Structure 1
């Protein structure tokens, strides 16, 4: 049986929510850092990557945030 329901979607801020995780990725070659809950670890990865690949200047941060849904 199906019924129409209103759903709510929002970031999960509950005490048992999974933590935000962060990674950095090189826009030129696609290599990336390990995923971490510490944003700064990706910055260190970028500095190491640019040291070994001096022509790679552009990076992106990839963020995973937990969301939750529930019926109203």
Structure 2
């Protein structure tokens, strides 16, 4: 007979704001043709991509904003009793 022991741990997930964290990047995707911009660090460049795409495809009016934010997961230290 085997016996298992489980220990449940609490984890925290939050935005990674460490100095070595990956940058936050933005993008957009056309909801009509699914074409997407490159990942960009500047939201204004994304708006230009949307306007350029809409200008080339006048019937494409719907877009998705794509944001990638770095996250961290860790177990908070629990004080010893």
Same fold (TM > 0.5):
yes
2:42 paired with 1:38: yes
From the two aligned structures, give the one with the greater strand fraction. Answer: 1
* Aligned mates of 1:60, 1:19 — CA distance in 2: 20
| Cα RMSD for the two superposed structures | 1.4
The higher radius of gyration belongs to 2
* Unaligned residue ranges in structure 1 (runs of 5+): none
Q: What runs of 5+ residues in structure 2 fail to find an aligned partner? A: 77-81
Q: Which residue matches 1:68? A: 72
Within 1, Cα distance between the matches of 2:20 and 2:71? 12
State the 4+ residue runs in structure 1 displaced beyond 6 angstroms.
none
Deviation at 1:45, TM superposition (A): 0.7
Given the alignment of the two structures, is residue 9 of structure 1 paired with residue 13 of structure 2, yes or no?
Answer: yes
Paired residue total: 72
Confirm whether residue 55 of structure 1 aligns to residue 59 of structure 2: yes
